[in-house]
Structure 1
Amino acid sequence: MTVTGEDSVIDTDPLEPPLSAPLRRDLGWAQVQQMSQSANYRDEPMLRQIRATAAVRRGTRMTKILSPAQVSGHLGGWLPYGFCYRACDLAHLTDPRDLALLGTDGVTDSEVAYALRWRAVDPLDYEVPGGPAQPGLALIQSHQRIGAMILGTGFTPSTDELIPEYITAGFADLPIPANSQIIAHVPGGEEVILYTYQPEQNGWLRLAGPRWRGLLDHLPGVSPDREYVPCTTTGSAKLVGQIKGKEYEAVADPPEEFRVRALTRAARYPVSTLSRRAEQALWRGIPCWVLQRDEAWARLRLVRPDNDSLSATGARCYERGVYESWAPVGELLDHHIADIPYAL
C-alpha cells in the first residue's frame, strides 16, 4: 500500500495503480486494516475512497488462486470467473501457504499454490464484492458458503494484510485473453510458469521444463509429459468484433491488441468494435447466466446471489461466492444473448 501526502511522488505502472491511503495522525495503517475487516465499516466513505484507488485498467494483470482440481478445470476449458485479485496486490506474498489462503474452493493444504493469471480486457468486467454491486453477498448464511467469509468491505479477510479483492462482474465467465498463464508458487518464493494459453489453437502450451515436471503430478487427470493440452469444453462466453460491418469471433491480447480469431497470422486483422457475448435469463425472477443447456435443462449461475435468490432457486455454492443450479429450459424467461460492448 502507498501512503500519500501533499509532497509525495508516486512512480508506478499506469496499468497497476497502487492501493493508496491518505494516512493522518488520527488514521494510521493499523486502523485502516482493522476497518477493512469489520462489517461495521462497509459504508465508511474513507474506506471506500481507499478501496477505489485500487483501480483495474485495460491490461491490468489479474490473478485467481487455484487448487490442483481447479487447475485441471481451466486446462480443460474453464474461463476466468468469480473472486480474483490484481497481481500487483499479491506481489509481496511469496510463501505458497499464504497464497493458498486466498483460494476459492476451501482447499488450503497444498505446499504449492497454483494460480491463473490474465490481463483485464476492460474495467467493466470487474466489480467490488459488496454494495452497491453485490449488496446481499456478504449477508449469505455461513452454512451456504465455501471458502473465506465475504466481508463486504472490498478487502479480503486477513489479520495483518490489506488486500483489495474483486469479482468478475456479476460472477460472469470472461473470455480468456491470449497469453494468459497458469503458474505455480513454490516453497522459497519462486514463481514457475507452467502453461500459457494459445487462443487460435484453443489450448494450453506447456512451458514447465524437466525441473518442474513434478508440479504437474498433483493435477488430477493431467499428463505431466503432454506438451500441449487442448480445451475440451466450450466456454459460455466469447468475444466478437466487427470489420467493415461484418462480425467475427475475436481474441483479446490486452492492453492494445484486439483481433480476429484466425489460425494464420496473416488473417488476424484488428477489429474495430469489441463485445463480450453471453447468455442470460430469468429463472423464478432471478437474473442468471446460462452456462450450459440442452433441449431440456440449463445450468445457471446467479448474477447477484443473496439469501432470497438462494431460497428461490435452491442454488448451491460451488466455490466462494459462486452459486449455480440446474433449471428446466421451459421455465426460463427473458432468455437472450447479451452483448456487453467495450470502448476501443
Structure 2
Amino acid sequence: MTAAREAPHVAEAPTGLRVTFGGAIYPADELAHGAAYELFSADPVDGFQRNPRPGAPLPWHRFVHVTEVAAVHGPRADTPLETPEAPLMVPLNRQRGWSDIHALSQTPAYADDPTVAGIRRTAAIRRGTRMIKALSARQLSGYLRGWLPYGFCYREHDVAHLRTPADLALLRTDADAGRDDPDVVYALRWRAIDPRDYEIPLGAHQRGLVRMPAHDRVGPPVLGTGFTPSGRHVIPEFVTADFADLPMPANATLLAYTPDGTEVVLYTYQPEQRGWLRMAGPQWRHLLTRVPELPPDQEYVPSDDKTKSTRLVGRYRGQEYDAVADPPGEFRVLAMTRAARYPVEALSRRVPYARWRGVPCTALHQEAGWTRLRLCRPDADSVAALGAQCYERGVYEVWAPTAEITDSGMVDIEYAL
C-alpha cells in the first residue's frame, strides 16, 4: 500500500465524519457498518481516483478497509449497535512483513503451514455475520428464481472496501465475465445462521480442489490456504459445509455495484411471501436489463420452493414446522399471519445426502427418474468417475439415475438456540 501524502485541504463530508489515513485527515462516509470507509479529497492524492458521481462535492475519492485507518472522528452512522466481527489477525515483525504474509497466503505449498493456518482461523464466522457472494447476471437470475446460498463466499467485513466491478471481479465464482456488462457486478448478501454451516478451504480438507486440473475447473484456482487468489489483497474465503445449499434467511438482499462504488439494493427476500421484493427505483432499472428472464420493471419475483433442496425445520410444542431464520436472534415458524409466527423451541437444517458410485453428494432435486447431485468433496478422480461438470468455482454437479443412488436420506443438522 502506498502511503498517502497529507491532504492540503480538509472539507467536511455530508455526514461530518472524518478519518485519519496515511497521516492525513479526510472527509469520509462509513460503509458496511464501519468495515470500510469512502474517503474524499479536494486535491489529487496518491491512491485516490476521480469521483465520477455527478455533482460530487469533492472530486477525488478512494475506498479503504477499517484496518487501514488510524482514527475515526465525528458522528458515526445511525445504525443499531452490533457485535463487531473478529478481524484477521496477522503477526507482523521485523523478520516477516505484510508482503511475506501475502506471499504465504497465495502459495499452495504453505496450505499446511501452521502460521498460515493460525492467521486464517482468526477470521471467524458467528451467528449473524453478514456473508456475501459476488454474482454474474446469470447467477442473479438463478437466485431470484429459487437458488439458495452455496459454494464459495466471504464475510462482508473482509471485502467491504471492494466496491467497484473491477475490484469485485476477483471474488466472482462464475465463467460469465466476458458476457456480462463490465459496469456492474451483482452480489447476494445474507446473515449466517450458524458457524457450522461454513468451512475454511484450508489444507487437506480441500486438497482435491487444489489439485484439480485447470481444464476441469471454473474461476480462480483454489489455493488451499483459506485465502482467495489476489495480487495484493489478503482475503479469507469460506465454502458452505459440504458445498450444500443453505436456507435463505429473511431479509437477504440482492445487490448491484456500479463503477463509482455505489451499492444498490435491488431485491430483498421475503420468506412469508416466498419471493423477492424489488427495492431499486426507476433510476436503477438499467442495471437489470441484461439479467436473463427478468423484466426490469417486475416488482415481485416469486421463488420456486419446489427446487429447494435444503429446509429449515423448527419445532414448537412438539410439532414440526417449516421455519424462518432472521439472525442473529430471531427464529420462528414460517407463517403468513404475524400472530402465528411463534418462536421455535428447536431448529435444524435438513439436507438430503446420497452416494453414487461411492462418491458422497448432496441431492438437489429429482426429475423423471434422475437425481441432480452435487459433490461434497470434489477431486479429479471423483469428477472423472461421475462425469461431473464444474458449474462455478468448486461446485461440481451431475445427473444420476435415481435407481443407482445408494445411502440416500435426510440429515438434520441441529442448531443450538
For 1:299, the equivalent position in structure 2 comes to: 372
Aligned equivalents of 1:133, 1:268: Cα separation in 2: 39
Deviations 1:4-63 (A, max 9, x none): xxxxxxxx9635211111211111111000100101110110111110011011000000
Residue in structure 1 matched with residue 284 of structure 2 by the alignment: 212
* Matched ranges for 1:90-129 at <5 A: 90-109=159-178, 110-129=182-201
1:130 to partner: Cα distance: 3.2
Secondary structure at the residue paired with 1:27?
coil
Which of the two has higher C-alpha Rg? 2
Q: Which residue of 1 aligns with 2:352?
A: 279
Q: Secondary structure at the match of 2:205?
A: coil
Preserved CA contact (<8 Å) 2:310 2:349: yes
> How much has 1:87 moved relative to structure 2?
0.6
Work out the number of aligned pairs and report it: 336
Q: 1:103 to 1:74 in 2, by over 3 A?
A: same
Q: 2:209 aligns with which of 129, 132, 137?
A: 137
**Other structure's SS at 2:207 match:** coil
Matched, 1:176 2:233: no
In the alignment, residue 158 of structure 2 is paired with which amino acid? Answer: D
* Structure 1: 5+ residue stretches without partners: 4-11
Q: 1:82 aligns with which of 151, 170, 177?
A: 151
Aligned partners of 2:390, 2:84: CA distance in 1, in Å?
33
Matches within 5 A, 1:111-260: 111-232=183-304, 233-260=306-333
Q: Judge which range, 101-110 or 248-257, deviates more.
A: 101-110
**Whole-angstrom distance in 2 between the partners of 1:45 and 1:130:** 11
Residues in 2 aligned to 1:134 and 1:245: alpha-carbon distance in whole angstroms: 39
Cα distance, 1:201 vs structure 2: 0.7
Counterpart code for 1:111: D
Give the drift of 1:107. 2.6
Asked if structure 2 preserves the Cα contact closer than 8 Å seen for 1:241 and 1:273, the reply is: yes
Distance between the aligned counterparts of 2:203 and 2:375, measured in 1? 16
8 Å CA contact 1:239–1:251 kept in 2: the answer is yes
The percentage of aligned residue pairs carrying the same residue is 58
Matched, 1:337 2:410: yes
One-letter identity of the residue aligned with 1:277: R
* Superimposed CA distance per residue, residues 164-193 of structure 1 (whole angstroms, 9 cap, x where no aligned partner): 111101100001000000000111111010
2:113 equivalent to 1:41: no
Structure 2: which 5+ residue stretches go unaligned? 1-64, 68-80
Query: How far apart, CA to CA, are the structure 2 residues paired with 1:266 and 1:66?
Result: 36
Among candidates 375, 382, 392, match of residue 309 of structure 1? 382
Q: Tell me the SS of whatever aligns to 1:21.
A: coil
Q: Is the 8 A contact 2:307 2:364 kept in 1?
A: no
TM-score, normalised to structure 1, is 0.95
- Flag the 1:27–1:66 CA change in 2: closer, same or farther, 3 A: same
Query: Is the aligned partner of 1:328 residue 2:401?
Result: yes
User: Amino acid of the residue matched to residue 73 of structure 1?
Assistant: G
Name which of 109, 114, 120 aligns with 1:51: 120
- Cα gap change, 1:140/1:240 in structure 2, threshold over 3 Å: closer, same or farther? same
CA-CA distance at 1:295 after TM superposition: 5.1
Contact 1:130–1:137 (CA<8 Å) still a contact in 2?
no
Contact 2:354 2:407 in 1 (8 A): yes
CA contact (8 A) 2:351 2:410 kept: yes
Pair 1:65-2:134 in alignment: yes
Report Cα offsets for 1:201-241 as digits up to 9, x if no partner.
11000000011111111211111111111013531101001
Q: CA 1:44 to 1:14, structure 2 compared with 1: closer, same or farther past 3 Å? A: farther
Give the structure, 1 or 2, with the largest relative contact order (CA under 8 Å, sep 6 or more): 1
- TM-score where L is the length of structure 2: 0.78
Q: Give the aligned residue type for 2:319.
A: K
Q: Is 1:21 aligned to 2:90, yes or no?
A: yes
Task: Give me the whole-angstrom Cα distance separating, in 1, the residues matched to 2:66 and 2:287.
Answer: 35
The amino acid of 1:245's aligned partner reads G
